[in-house]
Chains A and B, each alone.
Chain A
């Protein structure tokens, strides 16, 4: 999850404080639409599994906790 936190911070340099497991990343606009594919590629790299873009839901990305559950179940 450190890589994911680092990616979010790199895209939001003004972000201060920790990103909690339950913080709403979508509501806070920490992942914008143009960066979305880059974020998916990162998740594929971290998880080692391909992600089907047609099967994604916004709730899959809403919090770090959900990202962990959906894409990184082995962690």
Chain B
């Protein structure tokens, strides 16, 4: 969504209470060069330039079948020790929770666009104490990210009706700047 309100009038009205007229409105600040920046500037601050995005959808039943067929071996090949520890600690259906992490890993792969296979262990998706997922890269995934200048990867996971979906955004901004970015 593109916001067209003039800078300094967050509700889209000017200080006199007059609704903005067509002629009053500046052009959409898509390049973020206007006063106070714009959507593009906000995105740049968040991810440090053009972000790479990955999206993935996983059917929980496919994960359930893999676990039924291969049990602990599949879980151990798919997830690191800390990931498994977290997955087993959280209440609920293990295949459903595992499907969310798999979707997140795959979304990260799509965002990073590596030129060769990366091991599932190279993309570790953990939950912080407040519940937000965090990604740690290692091995080929870590080397590829470093080579491409990716310094931060953010993911979000959701589940509904037998499906798990995740989106990943990889950018060149220092992870600390993401923490500082004011939400809302």
Task: Give me the interface of A with B, judged by CB distance under 8 Å.
Answer: 33-34, 37-38, 41, 53-54, 56-59
- Other-chain residue from B58, B66, B102, B119 in contact with A54 (beta carbon distance below 8 A): B119
Asked whether B70 lies within 8 Å of A58 as measured between CB atoms, the reply is no
Size of the chain B interface, CB-CB below 8 angstroms:
19
Q: How many A-B residue pairs have C-beta atoms within 8 angstroms? Tell me.
A: 33
- Other-chain residue from A34, A38, A41, A58 in contact with B117 (beta carbon distance below 8 A): A58
Closest to B114 in A: A58
* CA A38 to CA B77, docked complex, whole Å: 11
Asked whether A57 lies within 8 Å of B78 as measured between CB atoms, the reply is no
Residues of B within 8 A of A37 (CB): 66, 70, 74, 77-78, 120
Residues of B within 8 A of A53 (CB): 77, 119-121
Asked whether A38 lies within 8 Å of B116 as measured between CB atoms, the reply is no
- Other-chain residue from A34, A41, A56 in contact with B58 (beta carbon distance below 8 A): A34
19 residue pairs of the A-B complex, CB under 8 angstroms, read A33-B106, A33-B109, A34-B102, A37-B66, A37-B74, A37-B77, A37-B78, A38-B66, A38-B69, A38-B70, A53-B77, A53-B119, A53-B120, A53-B121, A56-B119, A57-B116, A57-B117, A58-B117, A59-B116
